[in-house]
Structure 1
Amino acid sequence: MFVLTVDQRASRSDRDRVPDVLERYASARTVRPFDRTAGDEIQAVFDAADEVAAIAVDLAVTGGWSVGVGIGDVDLPLPAATRAGRGRAFEAAREAVETAKHDRRRIRVVGASDWAPHAQTAAAVLVDILASRSDAGCAAVDLMRTGVTQARAAQTLGITPQAMSARLAAAGWDLEQPAEDLLIRLLTEADAS
């Protein structure tokens, strides 16, 4: 099981962004939905590695959150309120979010499995790829995600195909999906062992 604990950064000098996250991920595939645990911190329980990976990386890339992914058992039956949950995954998520506060990428993965540190590395690589993207790189990647060819995307952006290729390379477009697949696989392995 995966527990995602997320703490808003610089919350004393910023507005409360917890309601935004609660709304944004209201339809996420969770075992227990996001719940405010205290102040500017929220928590959710997942059983799907792909869902927790996507949300954790997305929140870390925004730069406004410290993100902790805990992997392990949870005490069953889970209570209705996420914040009342207990078990090793909850403890690991607490450790992860506290460590993430001091990590430049603001994301940490913690679990007892030997696969957890590898999942941490994959998460860090993916966050680095996405967080370092320029606005021009984001625009290029967004167009490619619509399924158009590179030539068509270049035409839409008013640039040459060579410039489009350079933008995609600088944006890490070729590494994003393999890094995401690797993270999901490693989280799955960490949860299974």
Structure 2
Amino acid sequence: MYVLTIDQRRSRSEPDRVPEALAALAGVTTIRPFDRTAGDELQAVLDDPEAVTEAVGILASDGHWSIGVGIGDVELPLPEQTRAGRGQAFERAREAVNSAKTTRYHVSVVGSGGAADGHAQTALRLLVRTATGRSAAGQEAIREMRLGHSQSEAAATLGITPQAISQRLQAADWHIEEDTRVLATHLLEVAHP
């Protein structure tokens, strides 16, 4: 299993962003949903590495979160509330989020300690780096593409030319982000015991 523990950065000096994050993450497939565990912290249980990558991508795009990914066993049956869960993945997610708070890209992965953990972490950090380094126009273009629109449809929706959407997507590193998502998902799968 994968447990994500997510903590809001600069929560003492900024507004509570948990409701916005919960709304943004509502479409991510989970075993136990994202839930506020305490104060400005969220947690969820997932069994799909693609969903983990999706969640990290969503959170990375706004740059307000430290993200810990714990990989391992959980005690079954899982309780109804995520925050009541126990097991290796929960413990590792706590360790990972604490580590993420001290890193430049604010995401860490803790699993069984093999090389795959580090590789998955590197891929997720690349995803975070790509997502946080783009302009508002680039984020807008990416959002349209994530809705499943073609470049022509996205351009029409945004009221810009097809050439302009292409330029925005290129500047926003859309294609490398998509490749990075595939890589991160694969490495998370490999890191799972």
Give % identity. 50
Question: What CA distance in whole angstroms lies between the structure 2 residues aligned with 1:36 and 1:168?
Answer: 34
Kindly report which structure 2 residues correspond to 1:34-183, keeping only aligned pairs within 5 A, or say none. 34-112=34-112, 113-142=114-143, 144=145, 146-149=149-152, 153=155, 158=160, 161=163, 165-183=166-184
* TM-score for the superposition, normalised by structure 1: 0.86
Aligned-residue offset at 1:19: 2.6
Question: What CA distance in whole angstroms lies between the structure 2 residues aligned with 1:95 and 1:173?
Answer: 31
Question: What CA distance in whole angstroms lies between the structure 2 residues aligned with 1:59 and 1:182?
Answer: 18
Question: Residues 24, 58 of structure 1: CA spacing in aligned structure 2 closer, same or farther, 3 A cutoff?
Answer: closer
2:36, 2:43 within 8 Å by CA — same for their partners in 1?
A: yes
Question: Residues 45, 138 of structure 1: CA spacing in aligned structure 2 closer, same or farther, 3 A cutoff?
Answer: same
User: Which residue in the other structure is 1:21 paired with?
Assistant: 21
Q: Determine if the alignment matches structure 1 residue 187 to structure 2 residue 181.
A: no
2:4, 2:45 within 8 Å by CA — same for their partners in 1?
A: yes
User: Which runs of 5 or more residues in structure 1 are unaligned?
Assistant: none
1:56, 1:69 within 8 Å by CA — same for their partners in 2?
A: no
Question: Residues 81, 138 of structure 1: CA spacing in aligned structure 2 closer, same or farther, 3 A cutoff?
Answer: closer
Question: What CA distance in whole angstroms lies between the structure 1 residues aligned with 2:14 and 2:4?
Answer: 22
Question: What CA distance in whole angstroms lies between the structure 2 residues aligned with 1:100 and 1:111?
Answer: 14
Give the counterpart letter for 1:110 in structure 2: V
Aligned-residue offset at 1:69: 0.7
Give the counterpart letter for 2:130 in structure 1: I
Aligned-residue offset at 1:157: 5.5
Higher-Rg member (1/2): 1
Question: Residues 147, 164 of structure 1: CA spacing in aligned structure 2 closer, same or farther, 3 A cutoff?
Answer: closer
CA deviation map 1:118-175 (0-9, x unaligned): 110110111111111122333444455511349x949x755683x6554433221221
* TM-score for the superposition, normalised by structure 2: 0.86
2:60, 2:131 within 8 Å by CA — same for their partners in 1?
A: no
